[in-house]
């Protein structure tokens, strides 16, 4: 069962029939677009939107949707000869399933395969599948890559997740760090726990990462960093919740917030957009996947929201 649904940011979408909304039995909701195989919205059962979607998103087919969960394949960023982040996020996908399962979870499955256009850039046969299960305060996403051809190929990929988070404006005094061993004592700015022991690549050398003495990364300036061989579980802490983020298959994590100067360079973001999201991306970047004919690779990213009052 599925139906079209228009949120305010979708008002200019020319393909409303391709916007698919689904609810779980307890009232959690997601909205997806077949343009890019893109999860545009995720509302937990309490009605709170957990993804950021820019109101300036360009919904026309040549452009990627700004926000939600873009699928990055077969190249991350400009790290190769293809267009930035590859072509999956701007391709047309097909709906395989959109249903309420017997256990009360909502489930969506979208797919895309190689075309003459993709083969002109990436001369291989493949199939991508994006699956999402959701209910209550959780969302589980999985990206599957299958080599349907006769030649091996290499790829990098990511789920470029824009998580809704209120970030104090540049120059705003912020609260101190949480006390050691006390994840519930969150600061007023978003913070990410679990990355302090990772080797990382910082694309903004003028802005060193703001790790505190407890190993917590605070979002207090522009961040564009790849954390290699990342742990399976990290947490995003904000002033009103802790989100547990788990991943498997993906080896790396990317954290991105463009801050003031970066936002000004992005035409489909409002000037204050950096105050409303932090990207925590499940990714495989440093070591490209080599996929033999007939073989399938799977990566997943899962989210569980824990209100501050219920944090252990």
Q: Which of 10, 109, 160, 218 is catalytic?
A: 160
CA distances from 272 to 54, 135, 161, 165, 264 (A): 11, 31, 19, 13, 9
Sheet of strand 138-147, all strands in order from the earlier edge strand to the far edge: 94-100, 106-113, 126-135, 138-147, 296-307, 241-248, 233-237, 191-193, 216-218, 210-211
The closest of 113, 141, 90 to 281, measured between CA atoms, is 141
Q: Which of 105, 235, 251, 281 is catalytic?
A: 281
Backbone angles phi, psi at 124, to 5 degrees: -140, 155
Q: Any catalytic annotation for residue 264?
A: no
152: Cα within 13 Å, side-chain hemisphere: 6
Q: Any catalytic annotation for residue 300?
A: no
* Active-site amino acid positions: 160, 281
């Amino acid at each position: 069962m599925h139906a079209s649904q228009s949120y305010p940011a979708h008002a200019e979408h020319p393909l409303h029939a391709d916007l698919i909304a689904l609810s779980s039995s307890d009232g959690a909701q997601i909205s997806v677009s077949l343009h890019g195989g893109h999860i545009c919205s995720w509302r937990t059962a309490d009605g709170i939107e957990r993804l950021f979607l820019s109101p300036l998103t360009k919904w026309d087919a040549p452009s990627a949707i700004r926000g939600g969960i873009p699928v990055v394949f077969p190249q991350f960023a400009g790290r190769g000869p293809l267009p930035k982040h590859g072509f999956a996020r701007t391709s047309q996908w097909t709906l395989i399933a959109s249903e309420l399962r017997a256990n009360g979870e909502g489930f969506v499955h979208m797919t895309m395969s190689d075309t003459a256009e993709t083969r002109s850039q990436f001369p291989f046969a493949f199939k991508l599948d994006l699956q999402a299960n959701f209910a209550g305060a959780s969302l589980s996403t999985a990206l599957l890559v299958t080599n349907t051809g006769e030649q091996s190929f290499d790829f990098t990929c990511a789920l470029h997740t824009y998580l809704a988070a209120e970030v104090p404006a540049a120059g705003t005094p912020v609260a101190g760090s949480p006390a050691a061993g006390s994840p519930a004592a969150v600061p007023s700015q978003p913070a990410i726990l679990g990355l302090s022991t990772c080797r990382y690549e910082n694309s903004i050398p003028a802005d060193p990462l703001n790790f505190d003495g407890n190993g917590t990364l605070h979002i207090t300036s522009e961040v564009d960093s790849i954390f290699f061989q990342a742990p399976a579980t990290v947490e995003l802490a904000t002033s009103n919740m802790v989100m547990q983020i788990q991943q498997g298959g993906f080896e790396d994590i990317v954290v991105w917030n463009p801050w003031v100067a970066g936002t000004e360079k992005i035409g489909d973001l409002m000037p204050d957009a950096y105050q409303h999201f932090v990207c925590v991306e499940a990714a495989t970047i440093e070591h490209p996947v080599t996929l033999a004919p007939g073989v399938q690779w799977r990566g997943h990213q899962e989210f569980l929201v824990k209100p501050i009052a219920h944090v252990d």
